Amino acid sequence: MRDRVGITGFAVYVPPYRVDLKSWCDWTESPWEKTQAVIGRSFRMRGPDQSVYTIAATAVMRLIEQYDIDPGRVGFLGLGTESSTDNSAGAVIIKGMVDEALIAQGRAPIARNCEVPEVKHACLGGVYALKHALRYLALESPDRCAIVVSADIAEYARGSSGEPTQGAGAVAMLVERDPGMLAVDLARIGSASSYRAVDFRKPVLRNIIRGTLNCHFQDLPVFNGKYSTTCYLDETLHALDDMLNRMGREPAQYYRDLAAVFMHRPYHRMPESSFALSYLFGLARDGAQGREMLEQLCRDEDYDVAELVAEMNSRPDILKLVKDDNIDADAYPLSMRALREFRSNPEFELVRTKMALGSEAMKDVGNIYCAALPAWLAAGMEDACGRGLDLSGRNLLAVGYGSGDAAEALPMTVCDGWEEAAARIGFGAALSGYQDLNRAQYEALHDTGQADGLDAPSSGFIVDAIGNNANPNFSDEGIEYYRFVR
């Protein structure tokens, strides 16, 4: 690899239809204080004339405009999503929309010799697409760049435990050689994957049946909350272990040296728990200093540090919990008890501080699956720029996770002069201009895809029509046609 590769820019789009979680708690008689602390403040919903493709294309168009990208340089346009509704075409749909809008503005379209893959894996498709883009640039001619867009629509059944963790949005990333913001250490990215059966799935048959029953297709998941948490924690631990082995670093000191940490964020509390547990596992390999900290956490418990370290060095079979009908059990029971103790330890502030950048803004995004980690990176870099922090040359960690299960741990370094690129992100601006939904609007939009009194999107791509021809001469049944609103 001749040059550094990484991320130069981010652009964000979320639909304007907002559900305030405090209001939602009133509607559903849920505890607001707990919801705010664990999940966040609000989430977004797609509108009647929006799809995952319009959301993604709007983010890509913003990226091109915000970073003044020459479309002819784009040799790779990758889409990471688990919400696609066309089982044939993927990122090329977005390319078509963007090309048409660029031509209408008198500009050249994206290069014809451009790769257009779609990558699917729950919540991790965007990170996988980013890795593909980085590898593409490592081998392609120097004058090319890549765009990766992560876009998703997270829907859960009303009344389910996942209902307050819904969301919709997209994040587009400009990926280049000699990047202007974040250099990614491609050779040392850590990977992990394991099949986990019923963690989080979207069987097509289930959703077709549901769509037939209520005349509104919803991509509702099958999920098991406690088990999903166990899978998240276990897989991220393995990805981090792989990354650290590739780097030849001891975990505890590496974590202490990091300027910031960003992880897949289905809701506010989950990444904090994951990184805190990873830090405790790092202490188990940190010699006398780490063992002393772990002993403090065990002091008032009915187990000793040797038992805890032995558990941390074990490799439990998570899928066996399903096979043994023990799905709600902890795979690392002593470690989880230590984690609960750690939350009241002064050193826990180290974990919280490293995850602070952009965290407040993310409480108003909701769960956007593949776009959740890129969104947090975007929010964090904009936050750091706004605070005037000196991050040049500092190391960051980004950890992606996808149910099912797989995880990727990406070591990054902040580039010199990153502030100029970060100042263009516009994360805060992307969250402005929303319409708060009332209960009737929320329930109707959720259940039918339509609601009275919705303001039309003021900019971006919309679904203009859906084909209904099904005859030998011309067939376009179910195909979306798009229009760019300026």
What confidence score (pLDDT) does residue 288 get? 84
Instruction: Please state, in angstroms and rounded to a whole number, the distance separating the CA atoms of residues 369 and 154.
Output: 7
Handedness of CA 182, 187, 190, 194 (dihedral sign): positive
In this structure, the number of other CB atoms found within 10 A of the CB of residue 338 comes to 28
Instruction: Please state, in angstroms and rounded to a whole number, the distance separating the CA atoms of residues 362 and 428.
Output: 10
Closest C-alpha among 92, 187, 80, 186 to residue 123:
80
Phi and psi torsions of 162, nearest 5°: -85, -5
- Stretch (H or E) spanning 212: helix 204-214
How many Cα atoms sit within 13 Å of 77 on the Cβ side? 29
How many Cα atoms sit within 13 Å of 436 on the Cβ side? 9
Name the DSSP letter for residue 200.
Answer: E
**E strands present in 203-320:** 222-223, 260-263
**E strands present in 112-165:** 118-119, 145-154
> CA angle, corner 400, sides to 398 and 404, nearest 5?
165
Instruction: Please state, in angstroms and rounded to a whole number, the distance separating the CA atoms of residues 198 and 222.
Output: 7
What confidence score (pLDDT) does residue 476 get? 92
Residue 84 identity (one-letter amino acid): S
Regions of the chain where pLDDT drops below 50? 1, 213-214
The tokens for 435 are: 């319409």
Name the DSSP letter for residue 120.
Answer: -
Residue 477: burial class (beta carbons within 10 Å; 0-12, 13-18, 19+): exposed
Largest CA distance in the chain: 77
**Residue holding tokens 């009344």?**
159
Name the CATH architecture for the domain at 5-485.
Answer: 3-Layer(aba) Sandwich (3.40)
The CA distances from residue 384 to 30, 63, 390, in Å, are 34, 20, 8
Chain mean position to CA 153: 11
In this structure, the number of other CB atoms found within 10 A of the CB of residue 399 comes to 24
Instruction: Please state, in angstroms and rounded to a whole number, the distance separating the CA atoms of residues 274 and 405.
Output: 15
The tokens for 313 are: 């060095």
How many helical (H) and strand (E) elements, i.e. helices and strands, does the chain have? 19, 17
**114-167 pLDDT per residue, tens:** 999 999 999 999 999 999 999 999 998 888 999 999 999 999 999 999 999 999
Work out the angle between the directed axes of helices 305-312 and 287-298 (0-180°, nearest 10).
Answer: 110
Tell me, letter by letter, the H, E, C secondary structure of 152-182: EEECCCCCCCCHHHCEEEEEEEEEEECCCCE
Do 338 and 302 meet the contact criterion of CB atoms below 8 Å apart? no
| Model pTM score | 0.96
What confidence score (pLDDT) does residue 1 get? 42
In this structure, the number of other CB atoms found within 10 A of the CB of residue 485 comes to 15
Q: Locate all alpha helices (DSSP H) within 284-397, ordered by sequence.
A: 287-298, 305-312, 319-323, 333-342, 348-354, 359-362, 372-387
In this structure, the number of other CB atoms found within 10 A of the CB of residue 307 comes to 13
* Domain residue extents for the chain: 5-485
Phi and psi torsions of 484, nearest 5°: -95, 125
Sheet with 435-436, edge to edge strand ranges: 42-45, 17-20, 435-436
Phi and psi torsions of 483, nearest 5°: -145, 145
- Stretch (H or E) spanning 12: strand 5-13
What confidence score (pLDDT) does residue 442 get? 98
| Region for residue 265 given its phi and psi (left: phi exceeds 0; alpha: psi -120 to 50; beta: otherwise) | beta
